[in-house]
A and B are shown apart, each in its own frame.
Chain A
Amino acid sequence: MTARLGRRGFVSGAVALPVALTAPSLSRAASAMGFDDARHLLSRTSFGGTPAEIQALEPLDFTAVVDRMLSRSRTLASAPAPGWVDEAPSFVRQQREAAARKEADGKPVNVVAQLIREQGRELRCWWVEEMLVTDQPLVEKMTLFWHNHFTSSVQKVRYVPSLYRQNVLFRREALGNFATLLKAVARDPAMLIYLDGVRNVARQPNENFARELLELFTLGEGHYSEADIKNAARAFTGWSIDRDTGQFLDRMQQHDNGEKTFLGQTGAFNGDDIIAILLRQPRTAETIVEKLWREFVSLTPDRAEIGRLAGIFRSSNYEMKPLLRAMFLSPAFRDPGNRGALIKSPVELIVGTAHLLGLPVPEKTPLVRMMAGLGQSLFDPPNVKGWPGGESWITTNTLLLRQQFLRRMIEASTVSSLDGNMAMAPNRRAERRQQVGPDQAMANMRPVEGRSLRDAGYEARLGPTLLGVDTGRLVRTLLPHKPIDAVDTTGLSAGAVVAAALLDPAYQLK
């Protein structure tokens, strides 16, 4: 798809011509990456490629495509943000006071909890929409990577506009600079709430942020002492939030001006000094590279390669693009043994399936609910460590739910909402509602949650993304590995082949 390659489309002619016939441009033809590399690159750096997207990359040089992908970087989301993202904390306080007044009238309404729930839902829908419409999926994958690294949860933060702004920061630095991001995160209002930075004052230091900064964000366990945590916490005292604007505020009078000893260095450090020291530690780059390796390459880090890539990361002053370029061009990334070696996260499975099937998604809430059911509720990681990912995505429960979701998607021609309530595990009451729910028009539309699934999932209705592609290629597009459940595709319709591939265990892999 040329959109993914940008306007210049440097070999747009070659796409149409069979590779063997382009003899004069041998250099190009000789380095054509071919189907498997094209599929693999898209499955790791986007939410998965459609047949057209894979075809567009096939005749191109792998390095050139990686460079092209990294040469652009969207720093702002294209989906319109919810209307409340600029609301100040004082607005939330007003809501709370209004709620208290209502309670005094004998009508208890937890307005604040409702508001937070609704804003959380809208925020998730917004991000899912961005993932679906973006022309640069790698930026969204990296935004999600930073969300899972510098975790903050709506359950604790409760001032939802700050989580939006944190997401904007993660997108800005998705392919930007880690050092810049780390400094910004330490001042980020959502983070200051989530890890109790706002309570960290000279009189009574709170170590929560300092501990996670060392343990999770930079060095990793075993590379610092408890005294380092205490001293780092003191250095960050006073970094707080303006209660009226919700923005960062350095409360000088709350800062501990005394001397601190941190990782063997002594001085009257502030938070920026601590971050500067951390950025000089080789472990910091290794921590990030290890995590990226698990995200993009495989679940088993290669020590030598981690060291090499961490060196590149440090020598480029923590620029993300040289690091990602080196990682994508590493032999391990392209090793056929690593194809299909990672398990799709719920977000990847859900966004990727909607993208692949080309389903219109006028209503994101059902997808957001399904993500939560499968264990990945955006803006609400399970704890400060984030989603553990890898094999932990698949349990007996989530595997069945994943299959159930896929059968719904196979049946669907759109994702919309009937009554805003998608039953995760349909019980009898839910089925009854579904039977009486859809009127004639809706029944024809077949929304995802619109019908009983008793006999669902045997044949997919193919949208424009998959129509006209031969069955062998469809299977190779959908699966990174040959099908586990060998299906005799002779005589099967393309829709039935797609359905079988979506329900094959190999579809859970990327």
Chain B
Amino acid sequence: MDRRHFLFGIGALSAVIAARPALADASSRRILVVVELKGGNDGLNTVVPYADPLYRQYRPGIGVARDRVLQLDEHVGLHDKLAPLMESWKARDFAIVQGVGYPYPNRSHFRSIEIWDTASASSQTLSEGWVSHAFDGVSLPKGAGVDAIVVDTNSLPMMGSGLRTIVMQDAENFLKQAAAMKDAGDPRDDGNPALRHLLEVRHEVNAAAAGLRSQLRDGPAPAYAYGADNGFGRELDLATRLLLARVPVIAIKVALTGFDTHANQVPTQERLLGALADGLATFRKNLIAADLWKEVVVMSYSEFGRRARQNASGGTDHGTAAPQFILGGAIKGGLHGQYPSLADLQDGDLRHTVDFRNVYSTLARGCWGRPVDFGQRPARTLDLFA
């Protein structure tokens, strides 16, 4: 065996070893794939309350026509651009949590996404992300040297001292950049806290790169290709490769951008819903093919839904509650929670029926076995896991 083969063998072996802890307790350990819908997705035109006459009244121009609604029950249905997800719906591994929001909703993109990402109350500013918070006080196995991978740019849900989080839009580029920034053994920080922090972060990057390099090199390609025409497909492709390579992370985050539809909403939202459904349906097929679908949970979220009434520009302005999609082989499909009443608006906005922090605590428990209530006392658990 020449040196090159020998090294190759070691790499493959370490990948298998590193993957073990995640697989060994697969029943209690699932990887959460967070899908951020940036800009505030219009929930009313995603999960459509088609049977409610008020819906037509509020949205005379942009309402989804009855014959374009995929009926889920006698009240609501999906926009037909979401048709690729019907296979998952029929297989009962696609849950829709209706009316998710929080009290005293904030309508600023920046503030509201911060509230969602840190699981804070409306009036509270927290700096730690909710995924990171779920692991406070827990020491995680070293694994690949990384606990969470953010494939888009907003890493706030995973930020905090608890998690080693890497932001990486392009694995090849990340590994290249990291290779250009080598660790130099154990350099002294001379008691300078700023320098110590720098060296710790650099070590984190290098540890992650070392783990990922060996694992991604030998990881299989996804069985089904993603549409190449949008960034979302590319992000899901990388997420899939990380999962197929069995990189032992807690969470992966991707994002689909452009939902801030103040004007001429219909074509924009239809394109985005189509991309979302195509991407997630392909993702599901890939993980089923790799026998990993039971080990993964997908959660969509957006900073807010939109106002009940359309505006004068054929669009919708910033609103409040909206549905969340939860998918996975271990998920109990169907409609969860209650659709907000169109007859009981607050300042023209939907009143939330489910607090997002209860969704988070349900997922923290179901994915990672972490009992966290995110300040909701008593914490209400949703019946999301089969």
Could you list which residues of chain A lie within 8 angstroms of chain B, going by C-beta atoms? Answer: 100, 103, 108, 110, 155-156, 299-300, 337, 340-343, 382-383, 385, 390-391, 394-397, 399-400, 403-404, 407, 425-428, 454, 457, 481, 484-486, 503, 505-506, 508-509
Q: How far is the CA of A35 from the CA of B263 in the complex (A)?
A: 60
For window 170-190 of B, CB contacts with A under 8 Å fall at: 170, 173-174, 176-178, 180-182, 184, 187, 190
Given the interface contacts A396-B165, A397-B167, A400-B174, does A509 sit within 8 Å of B180 by beta carbon? no
A155, A426, A457, A509: the one contacting B198 at CB < 8 Å is A509
Question: Does A108 lie within 8 Å of B263, measured CB to CB?
Answer: yes
Residue B264 lies at the interface, judged by CB distance under 8 Å to chain A: yes
6 closest A-B pairs by beta carbon, nearest first, are A397-B167, A108-B263, A108-B264, A391-B197, A485-B184, A505-B198
| Across-interface contacts of B150 in A (CB, < 8 A) | 397
Which of B180, B184, B314 is packed against the most chain A CB atoms within 10 Å? Answer: B180
Cβ-defined contact, B263 with A343, below 8 A:
no
Complex contacts, B170 vs chain A, CB 8 Å: 425-428
B201 within 8 A of A: yes
Known: A484-B187, A508-B198. A403 touches B193 (CB 8 A): no
Contact of B181 with A403 in the complex, beta carbons under 8 Å:
yes
Residues from chain A with Cβ under 8 Å of B234 in the complex: 427
Q: What is the CB-to-nearest-CB distance from A21 to chain B, in angstroms, rounded to a whole number?
A: 35
6 pairs, A vs B, C-beta closer than 8 Å = A155-B110, A340-B192, A343-B194, A396-B204, A399-B181, A427-B234
* Known pairs A108-B263, A400-B181; A394 contacts B110 (CB<8 A): no
Specify which of B194, B202, B205, B312 is in contact with A342 (CB 8 Å cutoff).
B194
**A382 with B201: in contact, given A340-B194, A342-B194 (CB under 8 Å)?**
no
Bound Cα distance from A341 to B155, whole angstroms: 27
For B314, the chain A residues whose CB sits under 8 A away are 103, 108
Q: How far is the CA of A505 from the CA of B178 in the complex (A)?
A: 13
Among the listed B169, B181, B208, which residue makes an inter-chain contact with A425, where contact means beta carbons less than 8 Å apart? B169
Nearest A-chain residue to B188, judged by Cβ: A484
Instruction: Known contacts A110-B262, A426-B173; decide if A394 and B198 are in contact (CB<8 Å).
Output: yes
Indicate whether B57 reaches chain A with its CB closer than 8 angstroms. Answer: no
Interface size class of B (residues with CB under 8 A): 35 or more
In the complex, the chain B residue whose C-beta lies closest to that of A428 is B170
Cβ contacts under 8 Å, B111 to chain A: 383
Contacts of B198 in A (CB 8 A): 343, 394, 399, 505, 508-509
Whether the Cβ atoms of B187 and A481 lie closer than 8 Å is: no
Q: In whole Å, how far is A298's beta carbon from the nearest beta carbon of chain B?
A: 9
Check B205 against A399 for contact (C-beta < 8 Å).
Answer: yes
Of B108, B173, B178, B199, which contacts A484 at CB under 8 A?
B199
Contact status B192-A341, CB under 8 Å: yes
A110-B262, A400-B174, A403-B177 known; A509-B194 Cβ under 8 A: yes
Q: Contact between A505 and B125 (Cβ–Cβ < 8 Å)? A: no
Residue numbers of B with Cβ under 8 A of A are 108, 110-111, 114, 125, 150, 155, 159, 164-167, 169-170, 173-174, 176-178, 180-182, 184, 187, 190-195, 197-199, 201-202, 204-205, 208, 234, 262-264, 312-315
Whole-angstrom distance between the Cβ of B48 and the nearest chain A Cβ: 23
From B164, B174, B181, B262, give the contact of A503 (CB < 8 A). Answer: B181
| Contact partners of A300 in chain B: CB under 8 A | 193
Residues of B within 8 A of A340 (CB): 192, 194-195
| Extra pairs beyond A399-B205, A486-B184 (13, CB < 8 Å) | A340-B195, A341-B192, A341-B194, A343-B198, A382-B110, A391-B194, A395-B201, A397-B166, A399-B202, A400-B181, A407-B180, A427-B173, A509-B195
* A383, A397, A454 pick with most chain B CB within 10 angstroms: A397
Q: How far is the CA of A341 from the CA of B178 in the complex (A)?
A: 25
Total CB contacts across the A-B interface at under 8 A: 111
Residues of A within 8 A of B125 (CB): 383, 385
State the CA gap A383–B126 with chains docked (Å).
12
Contacts A403-B177, A427-B173 given; indicate if A396 touches B208 (C-beta within 8 A).
yes
Whether A427 contacts B110 in the complex (CB less than 8 A), given A103-B263, A103-B313, A505-B195, comes out as no
**A505–B192 contact, CB under 8 A?**
no
A428 contact set on B, CB distance < 8 A: 170
Bound Cα distance from A24 to B84, whole angstroms = 88
Residues of B within 8 A of A108 (CB): 263-264, 313-315
In the bound complex, what is the Cα–Cα distance between A472 and B162 (angstroms)? 41
Cβ–Cβ < 8 Å partners of B166 in chain A: 396-397
Contacts of A426 in B (CB 8 A): 170, 173
Q: Which residues on B sit within 8 Å (CB–CB) of A509?
A: 192, 194-195, 198
Residue of B nearest to A382 (CB): B110
Say how far A403's CB is from chain B's closest CB, in angstroms. Answer: 5
Contact residues in A for B264 (Cβ distance below 8 Å): 103, 108
A379 to chain B, nearest CB (A): 14
Q: Are B195 and A396 in contact (CB under 8 A)?
A: no
- Is B155 touching A403 in the complex (CB atoms < 8 A)? no
> In the bound complex, how far is the Cα of B177 from the Cα of A503, in angstroms?
12
- CB neighbours (8 Å) of A399 from chain B are 181, 198, 201-202, 205
Q: Which residue of B lies closest to A392 (CB)?
A: B127
| Chain A residues with CB under 8 A of B169 | 425, 427
Closest to B109 in A: A155
- Chain A residues with CB under 8 Å of B187's CB are 484-485
> Which residues of B lie under 8 Å from residue A407 when comparing CB positions?
180
Most chain B beta carbons < 10 A, residue from A108, A155, A337, A385: A108
Q: Could you tell me if B201 and A396 are in contact, using CB atoms closer than 8 angstroms?
A: yes
Write the chain A residue with the least CB distance to B194: A343
Q: How far, in whole Å, are A485 and B108 apart by their CA atoms in the complex? A: 44
- Cα of A156 to Cα of B110 in the assembled complex, Å: 10
Residues of B within 8 A of A110 (CB): 262-263
Residue of A nearest to B231 (CB): A427
Interface centre among A383, A385, A454 (most CB of B within 10 A): A383
Query: Which has the most chain A C-beta neighbours within 10 Å: B170, B197, B312?
Result: B197
* CB neighbours of A485 from chain B (8 A): 182, 184, 187
Contact in complex: A506, B195 (CB < 8 Å): yes
Q: Contacts A110-B263, A407-B180, A427-B169 known; A481 to B195 CB distance under 8 Å?
A: yes
* Cβ contacts under 8 Å, A503 to chain B: 180-181
What is the CB-to-nearest-CB distance from A228 to chain B, in angstroms, rounded to a whole number? 18
* B89 CB, min distance to chain A CBs, angstroms: 33
Contact B180–A403 (Cβ < 8 Å): yes
Measured between C-beta atoms, what is the minimum distance from B73 to chain A in Å? 34
For B177, the chain A residues whose CB sits under 8 A away are: 400, 403-404
Highest count of chain B CB atoms <10 Å: which of A391, A426, A486: A391
Q: Compute how far the CA of A100 lies from the CA of B262 in the bound complex, rounded to whole angstroms.
A: 12
A294 to chain B, nearest CB (A): 11
> Nearest Cβ in chain B — how far from A156, in angstroms?
8
Interface-central residue, A100, A156, A395, A407, by most chain B CB under 10 Å: A395
In the assembled complex, how far is the CB of residue B57 from the closest CB belonging to chain A, in whole angstroms? 22
Given contacts A382-B110, A399-B202, A505-B202, contact A481 B192 (CB under 8 A): yes
Query: B199: nearest residue on chain A (CB-CB)?
Result: A505
Q: Which of A299, A395, A396, A486 contacts B193 (CB 8 A)?
A: A299
> Shortest beta-carbon distance, B75 to chain A, in Å?
32
